[in-house]
Amino acid sequence: MCGAKAGGPDASTIKPGETTIQGQLTRDGEPVTGYVRLLDSTGEFTAEVPTSATGQFRFYAAEGTWTVRALVPGGTADRTVVAQQGGLAEVAIAV
């Protein structure tokens, strides 16, 4: 139930009614490139996308509770996010 696009978020591409999870990866305040995984409420892998050159990512997901997992050289970090139907959930992840 998730579609993922690479290349980083562009707010103009969000369509009304879509449930979106997006954010940015940083280390010491600077953008980091890597991969971001989306895990469902049971911890099951759902999707993975590479970040953009500025550390940005986006998932289109069903409403519910998700875990966003950052995978970058030298570290990982998890964040829990609750996505609401038709809403935009912003996630900042520092690794």
Judge whether 41 lies within some domain: yes
pLDDT along the chain (95 residues), means of 10: 47 71 95 96 96 95 95 93 92 93
Cβ count within 10 A of residue 77: 15
Domain with 49, as residue range(s), is 19-94
Q: Is 33 a member of any domain?
A: yes
The answer as to whether 6 is a domain residue is: no
Contact 68, 30 (CB under 8 A): no
The predicted structure's pLDDT at residue 17: 74
14 assigned to some structural domain: no
Number of separate domains in the chain = 1
Say if 8 falls within a structural domain. Answer: no
- CATH of residue 35: 2.60.40.10
pLDDT digits over 77-86, tens only? Answer: 999 999 999 8
What is the bridge-based pairing of β-strands 35-39 and 64-72?
Answer: antiparallel
